[in-house]
Chains A and B, each alone.
Chain A
């Protein structure tokens, strides 16, 4: 059940010390992390907003596939790649 190294049974959540916040001044979502502020693109934001620690990765992917009426296989690969990158940067944890 794994692909791209990230288990579909895992429960991704923001790492400790990382917060997602809407920046009123700049009218955009930002990721606040130790010594850095990042601006997620639209796709990353959709994924991050679902990384609440209570949603299983496979359910998260189902939800995205439904919302975007997109191919589940493609989304699975993209999301796993995105999440792996965020885990490596210590912005996300499972």
Chain B
């Protein structure tokens, strides 16, 4: 499948309206260097992004963050997105919005809500998010979503602290009336990579969780859709990260930078252009960042000669960078990578040691502050 103009149109955009968030989850997908409120795009700038997204062929937008509901213009942005024909999804922690404002979002045309839960156990959940009282707010918010007649997805990120409760997480989603639940193991880059020892489950716990999820899928067929994401470190094949670099997806940061994936800013020698300087279409089609790993020409020989090259698209570039020092290497999650055995050993060592305290996601914490370094893998 060569890229034609049609297949090169993105389908979905993740719009990170802000990096501000009342929660501090140690596996946050935001970059370690967070954007400040004063640098965020204005309402008019976000509306222009929505116009350009619809014109470019995007059909779904995900309002995310940080916590998107702390943006005072979220109702206006939702209405604008619907007016230009976009499907609108809100990805939220549910702790920063009241009943009336949520009703206004629904009236503005919100299509779907994804609500995060850190755990079913309240104490653990609130320790992971570092936010007392969050669980009760989330449970109340879930009820509002169903009262308003909107479809609800529960997002649960799985780690060593809650991995033995996947059944209870799924049952909670059913009880809350969710049509979907995403059980996603932590993906280790950015904040999560710094917290790998505090988060990585053992292989035995992972395999038991996978069995339980598969059994729940059968048991609950027709009642709830269960999506399951396994951690790369214990996988044999890399994930088709973002459906391939610059193929279907783009991400806009709070300050307007356009990324091929939300973690791409970890790649140090890559420059990301901003919607403040160029149009979304120009950035998508011709910016160096989108072109660099698009298609298969960039691939190392190991990937280029592989029959999976247009299925997994070489896996995750940010993971390759984090673990090998080069974003252009084969993703070590791939069983063919010479670093795969070292990756597995890293996961096993991290999960076997006692869990260290969390490095909470906070503004202003620079990479040198805590003396943590990303683990680099040697070729075995």
List chain A positions with a Cβ less than 8 A from chain B: 15-19, 21, 23, 25-26, 30, 32, 34-35, 37, 87-90
Contacts and interface: CB of A to CB of B under 8 A. Distances in A.
B222 A34 contact: no
A18 B9 CA distance: 22
B249 to A, nearest CB: 12
B151 A16 contact: yes
Interface string B1-42: 000001001011000000000000000000000000000000
Contacts of A25: 6, 9, 56-57
Interface of B: 6, 9, 11-12, 56-57, 59-60, 85, 87, 89, 111-112, 114, 149-151, 153, 179-180, 182, 221-222, 225, 227
B112 A17 contact: yes
A34 B151 contact: yes
A87 to B, nearest CB: 7
B222 A16 contact: no
A15 B6 CA distance: 29
27 contacts: A15-B151, A15-B179, A16-B151, A17-B112, A17-B150, A17-B179, A23-B59, A25-B6, A25-B9, A25-B56, A25-B57, A26-B6, A26-B9, A30-B59, A34-B89, A34-B111, A34-B112, A35-B89, A35-B112, A35-B114, A35-B227, A37-B11, A87-B222, A88-B221, A90-B151, A90-B179, A90-B225
What 4 A-B pairs have minimum CB-CB distances, sorted nearest first? A25-B57, A17-B151, A32-B87, A34-B112
Contact of A19 (B111, B179, B222): B111
A19 B85 CA distance: 11
A19 B221 contact: no
B244 to A, nearest CB: 16
Given A34-B180, A35-B180, A37-B59, A16 B87 contact: no
B59 A32 contact: yes
Nearest to A30: B59
A87 B179 CA distance: 11
B57 A23 contact: yes
Contacts of B6: 25-26
Contact of A88 (B57, B180, B222): B222
Nearest to B153: A34
Nearest to B224: A90
A37 B13 CA distance: 13
Nearest to B6: A26
A28 to B, nearest CB: 10
Given A26-B9, A35-B153, A21 B180 contact: no
B125 to A, nearest CB: 23
A30 B9 CA distance: 15
Given A21-B85, A35-B180, A37-B11, A16 B150 contact: yes
A26 B60 contact: no
Given A26-B6, A37-B59, 14 more contacts: A16-B150, A16-B151, A17-B111, A17-B179, A18-B151, A26-B9, A26-B57, A35-B112, A35-B180, A35-B227, A37-B12, A89-B225, A90-B151, A90-B180
Contacts of A18: 151
Contacts of A19: 87, 111
A41 B5 CA distance: 22
A68 B9 CA distance: 34
A32 B60 contact: yes
A32 B59 CA distance: 8
Contacts of B225: 89-90
A23 B10 CA distance: 12
Residue with the highest number of chain A CB atoms closer than 10 Å, among B60, B87, B149? B87
A88 B87 CA distance: 22
